[in-house]
Amino acid sequence: MGSFIVEGGRPLRGEIIPQGAKNEALQVICATLLTPEKVTISNIPDISDVYKLIELISCLGVKISRESGSSMSFEAIDIDLDYLQTPQFRAQSASIRGSIMIVGPLLARFGRAFIPKPGGDKIGRRRVDTHFTGFMKLGASFEFDTDDPFYRVEAASLTGCYIHLDEASVTGTANIIMAAVLARGRTTIYNAACEPYIQQLCRMLVSMGARIEGTGSNLLHIDGTTGLGGCRHSILPDMIEIGSFIGLAAMTGSEITIKDVSYENLGIIPDSFRRLGIQIERISDDIHIPRHDHYEIETFIDGSIMTISDAIWPGLTPDLLSVFLVTATQAKGAVLIHQKMFESRLFFVDKLIDMGAQIILCDPHRATVIGLDKMIRLRGTTMSSPDIRAGVALLIAALSAEGKSVIHNIEQIDRGYQQIDVRLNALGASIVRI
């Protein structure tokens, strides 16, 4: 288990380029299974979750080659479906939640797929009912062994239909889209997730020959085709990492420019940080965060306490609430952080409280933060990262704190942030990996 030793209290300065979006990468890499032709994807983030998925599909038979830098090509010509029932596949797919998204492409192209219960973060219940309900409506049969948690879907052919999703699941929507593009007839998906990741997946599939209408909305119409071709696709910058850098800059009193952010795809994220009192300057497609000696949380018009909560897109992504919470600890004022989607994601606040933050954990979903206005610095401590987003929130806290902090279990951070220590050290941070 690796650790970071962090010397806090150092303002950062300089430019940083965000990595490719992790969540998009997992989807579009799975989509390469839909065609035997060559698919080239650029701006792939160098993180463990992505490379676990790449290794998994390589073992399935996908030919993978590195083009240059962050670009890779994929050719899913000879797929070994028998590999799906091996202990090795079971271990690989259980270690990464994104593996669930190979099911839709395999079902659509080969008529069957198997997957163990997915792994990933332990942040609360993350059910997969939406995925398999969609597959069954398209005509697949479904089996689940409760004694040996393993999902099986099979279909001689898939037929388009109307699907009203019970929740706007991002991975569920992606999986059903990938199954529907090769189904016979028209599929209509209502209450579809419409995050930029989904929009990018749809654009990629259209460039491969799919027929999709309604991209960017929660109502999609998909006319199935008999086959898809190859394409070239570039992954968007990671909006979660961009948001993390905004919070980091404000909390540490740093002056940072975040380059090439694809601002139009950030949605409500910049304005949500502005509600915390953070000044964000857009310069072309860059974001400049000037040094903040103080920043003050807004109140609602009637004077009541500000609430920041997650919501399905175009609302605020839940992946950033941990960053908002830690950033608020050094603001002036108070804010209620309401994490609606996952009941275990706020449990890391006890570590912030140990550092001197004033936080009331109301219940598993809500925490009230009383900002210290940088009058009282957080103090360094020893802690462990419970998941990707909490891990980077703790890293932000450690970088702003007085003294030395030790963060254990940094493999969780590495799952979502590429070489975060090297990139922040280049800006003046003091992070030692051991």
- In this predicted structure, what is the pLDDT of residue 145? 76
In order of their start, the domains of the chain are: 3-19+237-433 (3.65.10.10), 22-234 (3.65.10.10)
User: Amino acid letter at 70?
Assistant: S
Q: Average pLDDT in the 301-313 region?
A: 95
Burial (0-12, 13-18, 19+ Cβ within 10 Å), 271: exposed
Q: Is 302 a known active-site residue?
A: no
Count CB atoms within 10 A of the CB of residue 332: 16
- In this predicted structure, what is the pLDDT of residue 128? 85
Contact 61, 79 (CB under 8 A): yes
- In this predicted structure, what is the pLDDT of residue 358? 98
Partner residues linked to 186 by β-bridges: 223
- In this predicted structure, what is the pLDDT of residue 345? 86
Helix (H, G, I), strand (E, B) or coil at 304: coil
Instruction: Report the predicted TM-score, pTM, of the whole model to 2 decimal places.
Output: 0.94
CA proximity to 326, closest of 250, 263, 386, 380: 250
**Quick one: what percent of the chain has pLDDT higher than 70?**
98
- In this predicted structure, what is the pLDDT of residue 123? 39
- In this predicted structure, what is the pLDDT of residue 344? 79
DSSP string, 382-413: EEE--SHHHHHHHHHHHHHSBSEEEEE-THHH
What angle (nearest 5°) sits at the alpha carbon of residue 131, between those of residues 130 and 135? Answer: 115
CA pair distance 238, 23, nearest whole angstrom: 8
Q: Average pLDDT in the 356-381 region?
A: 96
- In this predicted structure, what is the pLDDT of residue 77? 96
Q: Average pLDDT in the 310-319 region?
A: 95
Give Cα 72 distance to the centre of its chain. Answer: 20
- C-alpha distances (whole Å) from 240 to each of 294, 333, 368, 416 are 23, 24, 22, 9
pLDDT at 149 over 80: no
pLDDT at 118 over 80: no
CA pair distance 424, 245, nearest whole angstrom: 10
pLDDT digits (tens, 9 = 90+) for 244-291: 999 999 999 999 999 999 999 999 999 999 999 999 999 999 999 999
Q: Average pLDDT in the 87-98 region?
A: 87
pLDDT digits (tens, 9 = 90+) for 185-243: 999 999 999 999 999 999 999 999 999 999 999 999 999 999 999 999 999 999 999 99
pLDDT at 126 over 70: no
Q: Average pLDDT in the 390-405 region?
A: 97
CA pair distance 342, 222, nearest whole angstrom: 31
CA pair distance 97, 10, nearest whole angstrom: 36
CA proximity to 173, closest of 159, 158, 187: 187
> Which of 78, 80, 82, 121 is flagged as catalytic?
121
- C-alpha distances (whole Å) from 335 to each of 256, 267, 329, 351, 408 are 25, 21, 9, 19, 29
pLDDT at 402 over 50: yes
What average pLDDT is seen over the chain?
95
- In this predicted structure, what is the pLDDT of residue 124? 40
Count CB atoms within 10 A of the CB of residue 66: 10
CA proximity to 135, closest of 122, 126, 144, 147: 144
Q: At 122, is the pLDDT very low, low, confident or very high (cuts 50, 70, 90)?
A: very low
- In this predicted structure, what is the pLDDT of residue 119? 52
pLDDT digits (tens, 9 = 90+) for 325-368: 999 999 999 999 999 987 778 989 999 999 999 999 999 999 99
Q: Average pLDDT in the 51-73 region?
A: 95
Q: Average pLDDT in the 307-316 region?
A: 96
Q: At 120, is the pLDDT very low, low, confident or very high (cuts 50, 70, 90)?
A: very low
Structure tokens that stand for 178 in this block:
């990938």
CA pair distance 384, 389, nearest whole angstrom: 12
Q: Which residue has the higher pLDDT, 120 or 407?
A: 407
